[in-house]
Structure 1
Amino acid sequence: MTWPLRSAALRYNRDSFPTADLATSEGSRAVSRTGGIFTIATGLAVALAACRGGPPASDDAFPTEPIDLVVPFAAGGAADLAARAFADGLSSAVGQPVVVVNRDGASGTIGGSAVASAAPDGYTLGFVPGGVLTSQPHVIETTYDLDAFSYVCQVTERFLLVSGRADGAFESMADVVTAARANPGAVTYGHPGVGSFPHLFMEQLAAAADIELTAVPFRGDAQSVTNLLGGHITLAATAEGSIAGQQVRPLGVFAASRLERMPDVPTLSESGYDVTTSIPTGVIAPAGVPANVLATLESGCRAAYESEAFLAMVDRTFQLPTFAGGAAFGARAVADSAVMRDVVSALGLGR
């Protein structure tokens, strides 16, 4: 069995460490596509509005000009690829161009800040993985909090796995726990940065299993996998797509049920460790967007989510299509943020 891995470096005191689960949600898959036409008349209306220097039209006519979709990570990654497919579907649904704008840096918080500070008119949206909203604001200083946003929809989620080398000594999570208890701190794991979801999820697992692991941070999943395969670390915490095609052995998945593509890999709950988490990705807007504009965006969001191109890209990037409306996505962000706040605090990472 072959698949890839992730990264981290330090030991932590986890007395009274929080182990509450993050919220998870069920996805649905449907295939349809709503078409739309950007007419010459609409273009002229936008041009005339720009000449007047006023708003392009009333809220009831939204949208009457292109929409920016901010992606807080660099082009070419899973979030960016999914965002571009989503943008095409949203454009067809609302009848205006949707332009992907990459604003990467500071673990996604630069892009988050760009959305939070934009005019609340519906013409600036963000396509953001959950960490931008729920973990990073507890780790580093940000210009926003959850109240800085309107929530449009959730469209995907991803699950992390714990993996060892395919030819390594660990064949199950029970083996990992036995080794970690026999020699506290000797079992190491890689993750893509302090305060990242793989780092925080692994520390939740360590607390649930009452073991001490040593976290080793790297700059991205590729370095974690390379170091795992080279024997420099014992485990890696990665997304499903990061271990595809690599000589690794997945030992457990942070999910409520087994993954469709890896049916032989048990959940951590099955192994006796009650840690069930996932990473949602959704669409946000600045706080204060009018309700009718949000309704239009949420409707377009569902149409984009249901498009064949988007569902194909989500599958290609090892994500699970998972739709939730704006209210549900916002409620999940609040719940996940509370868990991550406690985890970060227990690790002594909080700002």
Structure 2
Amino acid sequence: MKITKVLSLALAATLPAMLMSPLASAEDFPSRPITEIVPYPAGGSSDLAGRALANALSGHLGVNVVVDNRSGGGGSVGISALARARADGYTIGVAPIGTIANQPHMHRTPYNAESFDYLCQFYYGPEVLVVKPDSPFSTLKEVIDYAKAHPGKLSFGSPGPGTLPHLDMLRFQQVTGIELTHVPFAGDGPGLTALMGGHVDLYMAMPNTVTDRNLDAVAVFSEEPMSSLPGIQTVMEQGHDMTASVSGGLVAPKGLPSAIKQKLVEGCEQATQSEELKTVLGRVGFEARYQGPDEFRQLVERTSEVNGRLIKEVIKKGGGR
């Protein structure tokens, strides 16, 4: 009897604390540093964007947000580590759309587009179709007309099979009814070098690369013309219903407590307004563009659906033009 009574009293004493602890944890969050996984090496555009976001988040949340670079596998190593992390708000990650939406279709990964809680999109950059120096083409129409008359003769470079620029060029061929030859490279650097050396005819580049390297652009894949590219019409203005961009955001392991998620969402929205973030993103060719959790999740799901179909129907069947 005595033992039963003691256990009952102990349970009664601890039960309120047990019931209150999740709420108290959410109210106290964050009480220690937060780890932000960046799935690419230090010094790259994703890393610089992630560090600028981490600095802005630190100011808003009142604790250090520490960047942890986990590179490899086209970003899938870092995103896999994030998916396996504890869903307590103390591990978050930068999620480029290409990594989170495309990689699960390219090879087996321990995650897919539904494996995360989405916090916000914070960067965006439209792609630009450029031609090699001294190209005979000065307009998108000239490119398309020639490609239709000479299927497979024009080539385009990409940073590698299954990357966003590669998949966007596949979509572009489908939208315009043309056939191009794909020449993959090990990253943007070698691809752009090949373009500038005249070894490929076309390339998808970022706006800052176009201006910094004085590349010849024939179309921008944004919804509206860009002030930084005067005189360059959008693809839609030139009669083809397509946009294409490189973008990404902040995600966390699935299952965050709602109060903790809300604090991170609010922090992400505030951080996107940071002047430091805008400056850093501008230097690497992006702009700060906020979208809330639902909008960002829907964007990833749409991208996964469209690009997953392309990967299955074209790349995995050996027709990765």
**Cα pair 2:128 2:220 within 8 Å, conserved:** yes
Largest Rg, 1 or 2: 2
**Cα pair 1:185 1:212 within 8 Å, conserved:** yes
Structure 1: gaps spanning 5 or more residues: 1-53
User: Match for residue 225 of structure 1?
Assistant: 192
C-alpha spacing 1:208/1:276, structure 2 compared with 1 (3 Å)? same
Provide the secondary structure at the position in 1 that maps to 2:172: helix
Q: 1:263 Cα shift?
A: 2.6
Structure 1 length-normalised TM: 0.81
C-alpha spacing 1:306/1:332, structure 2 compared with 1 (3 Å)? same
Structure 2 residue 127 is the aligned partner of structure 1 residue 169: no
C-alpha spacing 1:242/1:219, structure 2 compared with 1 (3 Å)? farther
Alpha carbon RMSD of aligned pairs, Å? 1.8
C-alpha spacing 1:350/1:115, structure 2 compared with 1 (3 Å)? farther
Provide the secondary structure at the position in 1 that maps to 2:130: strand
1:333 to 278, 300, 305: 300
User: Match for residue 113 of structure 2?
Assistant: 146
C-alpha spacing 1:295/1:130, structure 2 compared with 1 (3 Å)? same
Structure 2: gaps spanning 5 or more residues: 1-20
Q: Distance in 2 between matches of 1:343 and 1:273?
A: 19
Structure 2 residue 145 is the aligned partner of structure 1 residue 202: no
User: Match for residue 274 of structure 2?
Assistant: 307
2:83 to 116, 119, 128: 116
Structure 1 runs (4+) greater than 4 angstroms displaced: none
**Cα pair 2:95 2:249 within 8 Å, conserved:** yes
Q: Distance in 1 between matches of 2:235 and 2:313?
A: 21
Q: Distance in 1 between matches of 2:61 and 2:117?
A: 18
User: Match for residue 319 of structure 1?
Assistant: 286
Structure 1 residue identity aligned to 2:89? G
**Cα pair 1:229 1:247 within 8 Å, conserved:** no
Greater CA deviation, 269-278 or 290-299? 269-278
**Cα pair 2:133 2:198 within 8 Å, conserved:** no
User: Match for residue 248 of structure 1?
Assistant: 215
**Cα pair 1:165 1:247 within 8 Å, conserved:** no
Structure 2 residue identity aligned to 1:264? G
Greater percentage in helix: 2
**Cα pair 1:90 1:300 within 8 Å, conserved:** yes
Q: Distance in 2 between matches of 1:122 and 1:200?
A: 33
Q: Distance in 2 between matches of 1:348 and 1:116?
A: 26
Structure 1 residue identity aligned to 2:117? S
Q: Distance in 1 between matches of 2:166 and 2:284?
A: 21
Q: How does 1:22-41 map to 2 (within 5 A)?
A: none
Structure 2 residue identity aligned to 1:242? T
Identity of aligned residues (%): 35
Q: 1:102 Cα shift?
A: 0.8
1:73 to 40, 52, 62: 40
Structure 2 residue identity aligned to 1:235? L
**Cα pair 2:277 2:288 within 8 Å, conserved:** no
Structure 2 length-normalised TM: 0.88
Q: 1:350 Cα shift?
A: 7.8
Q: Distance in 1 between matches of 2:26 and 2:212?
A: 49
Structure 2 residue 29 is the aligned partner of structure 1 residue 62: yes
User: Match for residue 129 of structure 1?
Assistant: 96
Q: Distance in 2 between matches of 1:233 and 1:278?
A: 21
Structure having greater relative contact order (Cα 8 Å, sep ≥ 6) = 1
Greater CA deviation, 107-116 or 172-181? 172-181
Could you give the per-residue CA deviations for residues 321-348 of structure 1, whole angstroms, max 9, x where no partner exists? 1111112211221122111112222214
User: Match for residue 149 of structure 2?
Assistant: 182
